[in-house]
Structure 1
Amino acid sequence: MAAAISNAAGQYLTFTLAQELFAVDIHAVREIIEYGRLTSVPMMPPSILGVINLRGAVVPVIDLGLRFGGSATAIGPRTCIVILEIASTEGLRVIGMVVEAVNEVLELGSGQIEPAPSFGNHIRADFIRGMGKLDDRLVVLLDVGRVLSDDEIALLEQASAHRGTMQDNP
């Protein structure tokens, strides 16, 4: 477990979701964009909000609040979409996740990171890489590679491909 925690040390992009502080490894973040119009895709789980056109690429967008079994992310003036590159068995995948607000990039050392608790959290333990200790708060370090299963990613890609062909052939 200590090796996993030392591997978790590094820079993290922090963001707010349902008034809680979360973070993802900065290496997974491709860019942050303003929340904009999403195109819905039929027959998707509620946590998959739809797709966006990102410079010609169709990118699926998820709502982490719904994915974690909570309520939908509140859309406000600071709401944005964090574009992530996620390694999977098929290679790198690009997805977007809606967050209430992006906060800052933090540097966390191994001494500031604890293993994920096995109880008391409303998020599945396999989604959590660890818990970062800040001055008076904890930040949930997400394992973005596990937030979506390979089956869900494949479903998203099918939807994206379907949306892409629909856009090519109006």
Structure 2
Amino acid sequence: MQNTSLTPVPGSSVAHAQALQPPSSQGAGREFLAFKLGGEEYGIDILRVREIRSYEAPTRIANAPDFVMGVINLRGVIVPVVDMRVKLGLASPRYDEFTVVIVLSIGNRVVGMVVDSVCDVITLGAAQMLPVPDFNAHVSAEHLMAIGSLDERMLILVDIERLMTSADMALFNTPAALAH
């Protein structure tokens, strides 16, 4: 197993996803970006991550849902920013030196999601990805891939594309927006 540590650097501007990826090894499994929301650790497919940015307050958009913080201008691309803590009904969000925006490529759209902190990139084999038990959770079971188990760590693996394109997110309104 290859792990690459990420330590959020206060005031850092941009860390590209390519710089985060550990050296590839054949047949080693799938790579996930691990991040924290509240007291839990989550993981998303590293291939959906475009970059990681330090938090900056977005420009609010009138009548947007509470979890849509607004938009940022990312090198000429207007990117909606979702606060995942608000969306998932977790504890009151706080914005500090560890808060980051993970910029995602979903279909042909770019979306940002605010998380408490980024942990590292991990590789999980099939045997380390356990089925999600049936329970009433903040994230709908249809948006969860598995529970990742690595040593003493347990990560909630989120199907970020399915979550971001779900009707309740209302970020994607046409099938053309999802074209790959």
Q: TM-score, normalised by structure 2?
A: 0.74
Aligned to 2:172: 154
Of residues 83, 90, 100, the one that matches 2:116 is 100
**1:49 lines up with 2:69 in the alignment:** yes
Helix, strand or coil for the counterpart of 2:111? Answer: strand
Helix, strand or coil for the counterpart of 2:127? Answer: helix
Aligned to 1:66: 86
Output the CA distance in 1 between the equivalents of 2:127 and 2:93.
31
How many residues of Structure 1 are paired with residues of Structure 2 in the alignment? Answer: 143
Of residues 46, 49, 67, the one that matches 1:26 is 46
Contact 1:73/1:99 (CA < 8 Å) preserved in 2?
no
Shift of 1:117: 1.7
Cα deviation 1:66-125 (Å, max 9, x = unaligned): 1113234321111110000113xxxx2110000111110000000000122211533211
Output the CA distance in 2 between the equivalents of 1:51 and 1:22.
24
Output the CA distance in 2 between the equivalents of 1:72 and 1:52.
22
Helix, strand or coil for the counterpart of 1:154? Answer: coil
Output the CA distance in 2 between the equivalents of 1:148 and 1:116.
19
- 5+ long unaligned stretches in structure 1: 1-8, 156-170
**Identical columns (%):** 36
- 5+ long unaligned stretches in structure 2: 1-28, 174-180
Output the CA distance in 2 between the equivalents of 1:38 and 1:153.
16
Cα deviation 1:13-55 (Å, max 9, x = unaligned): 0001102100110000000011012100010110101000101
Output the CA distance in 1 between the equivalents of 2:98 and 2:73.
20
